[in-house]
Each structure stands twice: as C-alpha cells, then as structure tokens.
Amino acid sequence: MLSFQRIPAAKILSGLILCTTVFLAGCAGSPSPMAPASPNATTIYNLTVIVFVIAAAVFIVVEGMLFFSVIRFSRKQSPGEPEQIEGNTKFEIAWTAAPAIVLLIVFFVSLQALFPLASTPITRTGKTTGSGALGVNVGQTETLQVRIIAHQWWWEFVYPDLKITTANEMHVPVGAIVTADLEAIDVIHSFWVPQLAGKTDVIPGRVNQTWFQVAQPGTFRGQCAEFCGIQHANMRFEVVAESQEQFQAWVRQQQSAPTPKTGVAAKGEQIFMSSACIGCHTVDGTKAQGKTGPNLTRFGGRRYLAGAIMENTSENLARWLANPQGVKPGALMPNLNLSQDQINALVAYLESLK
Ligand code: HEC
Ligand SMILES: [Cu+2]
C-alpha cells in the first residue's frame, strides 16, 4: 500500500532559513563583492542591490498571489469550479505590461552601470575622459599603470614605468586610479578582485583592460575566475593597498640594488645559477633570465608563494622546492630532485632576496 508522508512546512522553512544564513555568512569580509572598496566595485554592488530588491518584490507578489489562490480557491474554502477568467482583456494587458515595465527598469539601471564600468576614467596619456557618474574625481588623481600577465597558475605584475616585476602580490597606493592591461600567456583566465572590480577575461593574443581605485588601505584577495586547468582554484593573488609613503618605500625596496650574498645564501646562489632554475626564473642583474616562472628578484619580500596558496615561510619554501608537484599537483615547475643540503642553501638564498 502506498503511503505518503507529508513534511511539515515549518521544517522546510526553518531549513531554508538556515541554509540562507549559512550561505550569506560566506559573503562577509574579503574577498566579498558585498564589501566593495573601489568605485567600480561599488557600482556593481549597487546594481546588485537594486536588481535584488526588484527581483524580491516580484517574487513576493507572484508567490503571494499563488499562495492566495491556493488557499482562497481550495475545495474547502470555495467548493465547485471558481469563476474562469480566460480571455479577460484587462488581465492580459496587465500581466504583459507589468513584466515589460519591470524589465525596462532593470535594463536602464544596468545600462547606467555598464558605461562607467566599461570606460577607464583616464587614458594612457593621463588625460581625463569623464567621471561624474561614479563620483570619482579624476582631475588631480594620481594614476598607476600595471601590466597583469596571467600564467597557468600564477599572476605576474609588471609596472612598466617603475621597472618592477613581481608575482602574486600587487601593491598600489590608496586613492590612485590603477589601470591594468590584462594579458595571458597560455589559456583564457579571468582577473577578479571581488572587492575592487568585476571579472575581466584575460585572453591570449589580446589585451583587455580593467581599472580600480582603492578607497582605504588593506589587503584584497583576488582569484582567477575562469577555469584554466587543474590548478585553477590555486591561482590566487593579493592586492596590497597602502599609503603613498608605504607604497614609495615598497617601490624603493623593489628597485634597490641586490646585496652580495654570504655564507649559506652564497652557496644557494651558486646552486641556483648553475642549475635548471635559471632557465625558468629571472633574478634581475644576474644571468638568470628565464620567463616561464615567477620573477624572483625580490622573492624574499613577498608574503606568499605558488599562486598565493601558502605563506612565504622557510618551511613552506623548502616543501615547495623538495616537491612542487606534491604541493601543487600539475604546477609547471618540475621536481628537480634536490638534496636536503641544496634545498637549505636555496631557501637561504631565496629568502635573502629582499
Ligand atoms: C621548467 C621551469 C622551472 C624550473 C626549471 C624551475 N622553476 Fe620554479 N617555478 C616555475 C613555475 C611555473 C612556478 C610557478 C608555479 C605556480 O605557482 O603554479 C615556479 C615557482 C617557483 C617559486 C615560487 C615563486 C612565487 O613567487 O610563487 C620558487 C621560489 C621557485 N619556483 C624556485 C625555483 C628554484 C630554486 C628552481 C631551481 C632549483 C626552480 N624554481 C626551477 C618554473 C620552474
Ligand atoms: Cu587562471
């Protein structure tokens, strides 16, 4: 015999509320698009809120009418067939016009957000090309040009004017308008710092652009947002927004001449310069000029390594050098079968590159 068990509505509702709470809790803090810290991210956030409110209103009205009908015209409430309204002209016009009006409103608010997002507020020459809509004052604002190059599975940041190349960590001064040229070496990636700007695809063979302007000091996590292979999820980075003075100090540190190595670090340098490392990595001012892997000129000063999946500590670095594939399977750095002595020396050398 068939038996039907009815799930109490209250249980479903409380379950739904719990799921929603857990889901929304995941949106708090960095890297949440719900906590924008740049004008274009704010434009996206505002649009999200407006569209959400409209969608919620539609949902409530439609579901409200549905529930009303289910209860009001149930057999218990009103036995017999309810009045039929098929072909009612007034209703036909109303339920055609109402969605059309709602969609038109959504269309126009989206359009209003689209143009300021698509246009960089300054051109490469530093000339202003309008602002206003975003409330950004581009007149006196400082600008910073960065080339962002996506690799499987790490990010390269090049500051052409400052002659700096780094990886997985992008420093910018608070308040400056940062314009970024996005390039890809291998496959399609997507540049995304949820708190700073919407996703922009990074496509081999063409240069896409994005921009942002960080409102307050802080670190903002970024993530590749287009599936690009086995380590796609571990293709992360961080934007460090700091005061003008701190940024200048960082620039000076990046540009300073390397210090001569002594002791274990000198031994590590010798191993580095005489092995396969130099075929893939660059250390400015040395014969290491490889381009396949991250530039290591100032590696010791970086907070993370290997696509910002772990902190740059001596232990993590040793783990990485001992077996890159064990740490990040599929990563494009081979296991070089280094001895423990070689690893220790390399760690001392690499961490001294500050
Ligand atoms: C075949 C090319 C290749 C060789 C050879 C190679 N590497 Fe790498 N290396 C890479 C790639 C690619 C990455 C980035 C991996 C990732 O994050 O997915 C990397 C990452 C690193 C990193 C982390 C850098 C960062 O900022 O995240 C260090 C340190 C490093 N390599 C050191 C070395 C040393 C030392 C050697 C020599 C013993 C070496 N590599 C040999 C390709 C290579
Ligand atoms: Cu990617």
Tell if the pTM clears 0.95, that is, is over it.
Answer: no
Assigned domain for 11 exists? no
Assigned domain for 1 exists? no
Assigned domain for 222 exists? yes
With a CB cutoff of 8 Å and minimum separation 6, the contacts of 28 are 34, 35
pLDDT of residue 135: 36
* Same domain assignment for residues 247 and 152: yes
Question: What b/e string do you get for 127-157 counting C-beta neighbours within 10 Å, with b at 16 or more?
Answer: ebeebeebebebeeeebbbbebbbbbbbbbb
pLDDT of residue 29: 54
* Same domain assignment for residues 319 and 234: no
Cα 309 to ligand 2 centre (Å): 14
Ligand 1 in reach of 283 Cβ (< 6 A): no
* Same domain assignment for residues 272 and 238: no
pLDDT of residue 82: 78
Which among 234, 150, 136 is positioned nearest to 178, based on CA atoms?
A: 136
Assigned domain for 303 exists? yes
* Same domain assignment for residues 105 and 148: no
Q: Express each pLDDT in 150-205 by its tens digit.
A: 999 999 999 998 999 999 999 999 988 899 999 999 999 999 999 999 999 999 99
Cα 291 to ligand 1 centre (Å): 10
CA–CA distance, 11 with 18 (Å, rounded to integer) = 11
pLDDT of residue 123: 44
Ligand 1 in reach of 168 Cβ (< 6 A): yes
Ligand 1 in reach of 268 Cβ (< 6 A): no
Ligand 1 in reach of 307 Cβ (< 6 A): yes
Instruction: Assign residue 343 the CATH number of its domain.
Output: 2.60.40.420
Assigned domain for 3 exists? no
Q: Express each pLDDT in 117-155 by its tens digit.
A: 877 665 433 454 444 333 334 445 788 999 999 999 999
* Same domain assignment for residues 230 and 320: no
Q: How many domains is the chain partitioned into structurally?
A: 3
Query: Which of the pair, 11 or 230, is modelled with greater confidence?
Result: 230
Cα 201 to ligand 1 centre (Å): 25
Atom from ligand 1 closest to the CA of residue 308: 27
Assigned domain for 164 exists? yes
* Same domain assignment for residues 188 and 166: yes
* Same domain assignment for residues 248 and 279: no
pLDDT of residue 331: 92
Cα 324 to ligand 1 centre (Å): 8
* Same domain assignment for residues 233 and 277: no
Whose structure tokens read 């581009």? 138
Assigned domain for 167 exists? yes
Cα 210 to ligand 1 centre (Å): 28
Is pLDDT of 1 > 60? no
Is pLDDT of 264 > 70? yes
- Average pLDDT for residues 239-259, to the nearest whole number? 90
Q: Which residue's alpha carbon is at the smallest distance from atom 43 of ligand 1?
A: 333
Ligand 1 in reach of 277 Cβ (< 6 A): yes
Of 152, 236, 275, 280, best ligand 1 pocket probe by most atoms within 8 Å of the beta carbon: 280
CB 201 within 8 A of CB 226: yes
CB 346 within 8 A of CB 264: no
The CA dihedral of 254, 260, 266, 268, to the nearest 10 degrees, is: 10
* Same domain assignment for residues 111 and 187: no
Ligand 1 in reach of 305 Cβ (< 6 A): yes
Final residue of a structural domain among 200, 229, 254: 254
pLDDT of residue 134: 33
Is pLDDT of 292 > 70? yes
* Same domain assignment for residues 208 and 269: no
* Same domain assignment for residues 241 and 276: no
pLDDT of residue 83: 81
pLDDT of residue 5: 57
Assigned domain for 174 exists? yes
Domain around 341: 263-351
pLDDT of residue 299: 93
Atom from ligand 1 closest to the CA of residue 350: 29
Q: Which residue's alpha carbon is at the smallest distance from atom 11 of ligand 1?
A: 293
Is pLDDT of 14 > 70? no
CA–CA distance, 191 with 13 (Å, rounded to integer) = 38
Ligand 1 in reach of 157 Cβ (< 6 A): no
- Average pLDDT for residues 23-35, to the nearest whole number? 67
Cα 227 to ligand 2 centre (Å): 6
CA–CA distance, 202 with 281 (Å, rounded to integer) = 23
Task: Please give the share of the chain, as a percent, with pLDDT higher than 90.
Answer: 62
